[in-house]
Amino acid sequence: MTPRWFIAGIFALALALGMSGCVVFKVEPKAKQLDSETVRLKLKICASSPNAGTCPNLGNSDEDADEDETNVVLIGLRLPEGSTVPRNVAGDELELSRSRQLAKVLNDEAPTPVGFEWAAYRSSAVITNPEDSAGIAFTVKLPEGFTGRRFKYRPTVGFFQPDDEHPEDSPIVCGPALFDRDVDDEGGERACIDSPTPDETADHLTLRLG
């Protein structure tokens, strides 16, 4: 059974995501209002393995996951400007840290409507396999003075495979890999947004605030 842990507002299952395949959202991300200033986003991600049937979505890369790959998991959160999110997340088999470099790339290249901005995270390198999954919950503080009745957000998930030429702390280069798996000398093997689809990424999910 996959071990579980709870750390600094984030509940995570031990993570494993096959690289040459893809990593996707297993279910649509959800949000819940905690109080007048705070919202919690819950993500459930998995490694594609249609033959096994537990994670049938092939994602934008349109491939199954492979066995025993080394991967860096990429998480993007498009939020109202001024939102505050956790800086780091650590677990036995998964560590996530905010990446201002990846956030800048997403702000420059991914759909970013006026009034919104991307926050981004990357994991440390992890050994991954098909069918493994992870649940992640981010506690988001609303922007100061936020008066809207609806909280709009868009999470994304992708991956990067480190190698001898591109170590795990390499800057993430999206370009042709923004919505697809790509391999080149500049950025190595990666898919910055493997899930959701480009059309879904351009749109928002919405939580009605009480």
What's the pLDDT at 50? 65
What's the pLDDT at 129? 76
Chain mean pLDDT for the chain: 84
Q: Please state the pTM of the whole predicted model.
A: 0.87
- State the Cα–Cα distance between residues 56 and 76, nearest whole angstrom: 22
Contact 55, 131 (CB under 8 A): yes
Average pLDDT over residues 65-79: 87
What's the pLDDT at 3? 33
Tens-digit pLDDT profile for residues 6-35: 333 333 333 444 335 578 898 999 999 999
Short-list 52, 30, 48, 47, CA closest to 39: 30
> Bridge-partner residues for 67, per DSSP?
none
Per-residue pLDDT band at 42 (split at 50, 70, 90): very high
Contact 67, 18 (CB under 8 A): yes
Say which residue, 198 or 46, is predicted with more confidence.
Answer: 198
Domain ranges of the chain: 4-208
What's the pLDDT at 18? 37
* Residues above pLDDT 70, as percent of the chain: 86
The type of residue at 63 is E
Say which residue, 19 or 40, is predicted with more confidence.
Answer: 40
Tens-digit pLDDT profile for residues 141-188: 999 999 889 999 999 999 988 888 889 899 999 988 899 888 878 767
What's the pLDDT at 4? 33
- State the Cα–Cα distance between residues 62 and 23, nearest whole angstrom: 10
Superfamily for 4-208? Answer: Mu homology domain, subdomain B (2.60.40.1170)
What's the pLDDT at 132? 79
The type of residue at 194 is D
Average pLDDT over residues 110-137: 88
Give the chain's radius of gyration (CA, Å). Answer: 16
What's the pLDDT at 17? 42
